[in-house]
Amino acid sequence: MADLLSFALLSISSILIVVNPLAATLIFVSLTGTMDQAAKLRVARDASRFALVILLLFTFAGGWILQLFGISIEAFRIAGGLLLFGIGMDMVYAKTSRTKMTATEKYEGQEADDIAVMPLAVPMIAGPGAITSAIVLMNEAMSMSVAAIAVVPLAAVVAISLTYYMMQNADVIVRRIGQREYRAANRLMGMLLIAIAVQFILIGIRTAFPILTGGIA
């Protein structure tokens, strides 16, 4: 029971931090500034729905996709840890990670007719970091129990639901949260994400190279 609780906390925290609802909300505000309220709500709904579909797809089919390309879960876990480490460092330095959205994607999004899918849903909400976390966590859950397997999609639903709620109330949130508060929260989440990334890397190395278990455990 304790292992399941620890895994649930890891799953929810890692996916929630990588999705980063607050950052997604600020980008949402910048991209929908000229829209009326009804259009904003429609974009928030469509972006959240599409992002959830993407995350759930990779949660359940990610392992099969890795097998299709001959990629071991250990290699993917280490690579994913490095990716999350980079995202965490960007968050610590209060920068928008280029794995989430580049300046070009943001500029093109302002001109796009349908910004819900691109760039909001992908790569802002369901980006490489979130997809990586979902695949790695689901692989770990499959070696635990049925309850653990249910935790990973539940974590994705929680993260996307919170993002949707925050985008719905974006105007209120932006008025109450200034840049200073955002940077402080972002740095704190970045530190947590770096710790999770290092844990991913250590587990990947330990699994791929059992001889090192005594030195890393």
CA distance 112 to 205: 42
CA distance 114 to 112: 6
Q: What is the pLDDT of residue 139?
A: 93
Q: What is the pLDDT of residue 90?
A: 87
Closest CA to 17 of 103, 104, 125, 120: 125
CA distance 73 to 71: 7
**How do residues 205-217 score in pLDDT, each as one tens digit?**
888 887 766 544 4
Please say if the pLDDT value at position 104 is more than 60: no
Report angle CA 151, 16, 128 to the nearest 5 degrees.
95
Average pLDDT (65-93) is 89
**Pair 170, 118: CB distance under 8 Å:** no
As a whole number, the mean pLDDT across the chain is 87
CA distance 214 to 147: 30
- 141's enclosing H/E stretch is helix 128-141
Give the 3-state secondary structure of residue 102. coil
Q: What is the pLDDT of residue 133?
A: 94
CA distance 86 to 177: 25
Closest CA to 141 of 125, 120, 127, 155: 155
Average pLDDT (11-15) is 95
CA distance 129 to 79: 11
Closest CA to 191 of 78, 38, 39, 89: 89
**Pair 89, 190: CB distance under 8 Å:** yes
pLDDT band at 93 (very low <50, low <70, confident <90, very high): confident
Q: What is the pLDDT of residue 108?
A: 54
pLDDT band at 53 (very low <50, low <70, confident <90, very high): very high
Average pLDDT (120-134) is 92
CA distance 200 to 74: 9
Q: What is the pLDDT of residue 42?
A: 95
Please say if the pLDDT value at position 112 is more than 70: no
Phi, psi (5° rounding) for residue 14? -70, -45
More confident of the two residues 111 and 88 = 88
Closest CA to 16 of 117, 112, 129: 129
